[in-house]
Structure 1
Amino acid sequence: MNLHFAAISRGKRYSPNHITNDARILQLTIEELEKQGHSVTVYDEDEIRPDLIDTPYIFNMIRGTRSLGVLQELEANGALVINSTEAILNCYRKNLATLLPPANIPIPSSIVIDTYMPLPEIPFASNPFKVWIKRGDVHAIHREDVTTVYSIEELNEIILEYRQRGIHSAVIQQHVDGPVIKFYAVRNTPFFHWYFHDSTFTMQINEIKLKYLAAKCAETLKVDVYGGDAIVSPDGKIQIIDLNDWPSFAPVRDEAAKYIAQVIINKAYSHSVELNLHSFPSI
């Protein structure tokens, strides 16, 4: 059975320094679907409206709140959306900080703050002062959206800037020494790739543990196509510091696209069965 899909590209403002990479992984995924006889119509996230989408099978790289609302409306009317809007929202940093620890997924100590409220006490601030501050909603667009600060005064300056830009939430996170690992994965498939952010760095890590934590994140956040960052402390402990819905997969996109396309097809076939079941009146 051949299906027709809608593919929704990421708005360019949400792809700082990655416009080409983000476009490429989407295009490769489309090509894999077309190889298997399926058809795809591509939409830009800034242009979509519910009445434009003429298929219940949608995959997307959206980040904006307006386009997210459009997809939520389509989901409410029975469409399959990959990644789901719930998964996209779950990957907002303020939600990572509240959803991952209860699932026993280690992250650095974190506080979610309202940028319009007084700054709370930060018990994990080191001496000398050093913490990370991250905007609480969509992923980094400007340099200040994820940055290290070295004083309360500098922290308050960043929070003020967030307020001025209409950013209502932020995450203050403990600084942990150690190398950063980047990873890419597709849920419920064998695909998993990781590397050190600093390509000159080498050390042994517990790769089984890293894969387990990545899969646990996907299960907790209900995200199918994802990547993230982890940090390895000097004692070998792995902590998740970020999780992204549908990253660029730049180092491994040719291989990743095959797995992404297969997950999309499998979920679409399952969804088509559900749609057919619900199209018949009960007796």
Structure 2
Amino acid sequence: MLQVAGIRREQLYSPNHVGNDALIFMQTVEQLTELGVIVKIYEEQDLGTIQIKENFIFSMAQGVEGTKRLLELEEKGKFIINSPRGSINSYRANMVKILPSKGIPFPKSYVVSIAEKNKITFKSFNARKIWVKRGDVHAVHREDVTLVYSEDERKNIFLEFEKRGIKKAVLQEHLYGDVIKFYSIVGRPFFHWYYLNGINHTPFEEGKLIELANKSAVALGLDIYGGDAVVSDNGDISIIDINDWPSFAPVREEASKHIAKLIFQKIKSL
């Protein structure tokens, strides 16, 4: 029988989604068990102190230290999904460079060192409002993704980041239009989307959204992913965020079956 390790996400990296992240993980474990796979569960926070003997790993880890440890294991020959390289690429400071370089429509963004807090400012955008986002891991705190309307607000967020030891921030153009949230699994016939704000419901080409989402995931090196897009008033689509293994909360039961089948198929093909 196939034996795999499953890495459960540390709660710190599940802000507002602790229960949902735990559920998609456990439902994936259940689905793999039904496929005849033996799963041994590990905790992300223990990765630095434990030995993982299994050669196949599926992981929801997102923290810097846990991801580094998984990268070491991958470099030693273990198969990991999502790959820790994909997780690192999806950190914002990396993602905002990778996606535009692959031709993905993406908002204008600057990666700024907190130590050079005045190098790029609110005025650099000539806009009424911009986003300030922490540049490393995904949001774990209320201020980690903040819409600001002035230079004073931007400075205050930077001071908050500095106090918390955050080294980089992303300043990002605010795009106007319908915000869409989506979930997908590369290589599986599964794609779910819905309007997040429902302001205009501008018509758009669904096939184009699927194409851009999958192209973004492949560019980052992710198999199990979600994200956000904005549809402008003329129907153009821009990707604004890609997430490494989200909770799939609205479609968890269906998604867990596809995730388990993807993991099973990947392992069997090696």
What CA distance in whole angstroms lies between the structure 2 residues aligned with 1:5 and 1:41?
6
What CA distance in whole angstroms lies between the structure 2 residues aligned with 1:20 and 1:252?
14
Matches within 5 A, 1:1-283: 2-49=1-48, 51-121=50-120, 122-126=123-127, 129-198=128-197, 202-271=201-270
Q: Over the residues paired in the alignment, what is the CA RMSD in angstroms?
A: 1.4
User: Comparing 31-40 with 44-53, which one deviates more in the overlay?
Assistant: 44-53
TM-score normalized by structure 2?
Answer: 0.95
What CA distance in whole angstroms lies between the structure 2 residues aligned with 1:151 and 1:49?
42
Q: Secondary structure at the match of 2:45?
A: coil
What CA distance in whole angstroms lies between the structure 1 residues aligned with 2:198 and 2:54?
43
TM-score normalized by structure 1?
Answer: 0.91
Q: CA deviation at 1:200?
A: 7.5
Q: CA deviation at 1:143?
A: 1.3
Mapped contact 1:50–1:70 kept (Cα < 8 A):
no
Q: CA deviation at 1:48?
A: 2.4
What CA distance in whole angstroms lies between the structure 2 residues aligned with 1:213 and 1:50?
39
Q: Secondary structure at the match of 1:257?
A: helix
Deviations 1:137-165 (A, max 9, x none): 11111111001111111101111111111
Q: CA deviation at 1:185?
A: 0.3
Mapped contact 2:5–2:42 kept (Cα < 8 A):
yes
Gaps of 5+ in 2: none
Deviations 1:243-264 (A, max 9, x none): 0000000001111111111111
What CA distance in whole angstroms lies between the structure 1 residues aligned with 2:125 and 2:75?
42
What CA distance in whole angstroms lies between the structure 2 residues aligned with 1:89 and 1:181?
24
What CA distance in whole angstroms lies between the structure 2 residues aligned with 1:97 and 1:85?
18
Mapped contact 2:178–2:201 kept (Cα < 8 A):
no
Q: Secondary structure at the match of 1:116?
A: helix
Deviations 1:152-188 (A, max 9, x none): 1110111111111111111101111112100000001
What CA distance in whole angstroms lies between the structure 1 residues aligned with 2:269 and 2:73?
18
Q: CA deviation at 1:189?
A: 1.4
Q: Secondary structure at the match of 2:124?
A: coil
Specify the code of the residue in structure 1 equivalent to 2:237: I
Gaps of 5+ in 1: 272-283
User: Comparing 62-71 with 207-216, which one deviates more in the overlay?
Assistant: 62-71
What CA distance in whole angstroms lies between the structure 2 residues aligned with 1:13 and 1:118?
26
- Percent of paired sites with the same residue: 47
Q: CA deviation at 1:201?
A: 5.9
Mapped contact 2:178–2:198 kept (Cα < 8 A):
no
What CA distance in whole angstroms lies between the structure 2 residues aligned with 1:119 and 1:235?
35
Structure with the greater alpha carbon radius of gyration:
1
Task: Give the number of aligned pairs.
Answer: 268
Q: Secondary structure at the match of 2:229?
A: strand
What CA distance in whole angstroms lies between the structure 2 residues aligned with 1:199 and 1:101?
26
Mapped contact 1:187–1:224 kept (Cα < 8 A):
yes
What CA distance in whole angstroms lies between the structure 2 residues aligned with 1:50 and 1:59?
18
Q: Summarize the Cα distance change of 1:200–1:114 in structure 2 as closer, same or farther, 3 Å threshold.
A: closer
Q: Secondary structure at the match of 1:58?
A: strand
What CA distance in whole angstroms lies between the structure 1 residues aligned with 2:252 and 2:223?
15
Specify the code of the residue in structure 1 equivalent to 2:135: G
